[in-house]
Chains A and B, each alone.
Chain A
Amino acid sequence: NAGVTQTPKFQVLKTGQSMTLQCAQDMNHEYMSWYRQDPGMGLRLIHYSVGAGITDQGEVPNGYNVSRSTTEDFPLRLLSAAPSQTSVYFCASSLRLNQPQHFGDGTRLSIL
């Protein structure tokens, strides 16, 4: 049972480049979410999904897109990378809303 798998673990981009962070879970969880964590701070919600085909914005959605075509996968797309998006990105899933979340190992992203 792999849990929540994120790829890549590290990435360096140039300003203006686009890329997709991958997230997959094998626990048949309905709820999936993407957070960013900046140094010394908590987790801020970017986008979330309550099931396949359903997504919604969190606290800090600007500059990011998501889709949920299957229960298992929830990719996060950076449209045009900016230095302010340098952060650690965590994907998480839970059986339903208001249930404990399981986190992936994170993607450490640097934008130059």
Chain B
Amino acid sequence: GQNIDQPTEMTATEGAIVQINCTYQTSGFNGLFWYQQHAGEAPTFLSYNVLDGLEEKGRFSSFLSRSKGYSYLLLKELQMKDSASYLCAVSYYNTNAGKSTFGDGTTLTVKP
């Protein structure tokens, strides 16, 4: 299979920095997405990585190491509204023909 592993829950303080990790099987890797999902709402796209390195978008950054099968989402200057679930999704070009497989998500709680 193509297991995608991410921590179930994380807690951080408002104004701090938090890093959410995601590991995946490397065979057939095509690209990696991060989505944010607030409770009771639909997922929304945050970032996409296909090459090694860091992609920065304002307070959010995403890093990818293709050889290690590892990605992280970095959230800076945390705000209360960042409390949500963060989903890592990986696209494989072999067995899944490019479709995305999702991890179970990391629930982030931001405390005052």
Contact = CB atoms under 8 A, between A and B. Distances in A.
Contacts of B98: 97-98
B99 A103 contact: no
Interface in A76-107: 90, 97-98, 100-106
B89 to A, nearest CB: 8
A41 interface: yes
Contacts of B20: none
A101 B102 CA distance: 12
Given A98-B30, A98-B91, A100-B33, A41 B43 contact: no
Given A100-B48, A101-B45, A103-B44, A42 B105 contact: yes
B10 to A, nearest CB: 15
Interface in B20-66: 30-31, 33, 41-45, 48
A100 B87 CA distance: 13
Given A97-B91, A98-B30, A98-B31, A42 B102 contact: yes
Interface residues of A, number: 21
B42 A97 contact: no
Interface size class of B (residues with CB under 8 A): 20 to 34
A102 B46 CA distance: 11
A102 B44 CA distance: 7
Interface string A24-45: 0000000001010000111111
A77 B105 CA distance: 27
B102 A43 contact: yes
A58 interface: yes
B43 to A, nearest CB: 5
B37 to A, nearest CB: 9
18 contacts: A33-B99, A40-B104, A41-B104, A42-B4, A42-B103, A43-B89, A48-B99, A59-B101, A90-B42, A97-B98, A98-B30, A98-B91, A98-B98, A101-B43, A101-B100, A102-B45, A105-B41, A105-B42
Given A44-B102, A100-B33, 10 more contacts: A42-B102, A42-B103, A45-B99, A97-B91, A97-B98, A100-B45, A101-B33, A101-B45, A103-B44, A104-B42
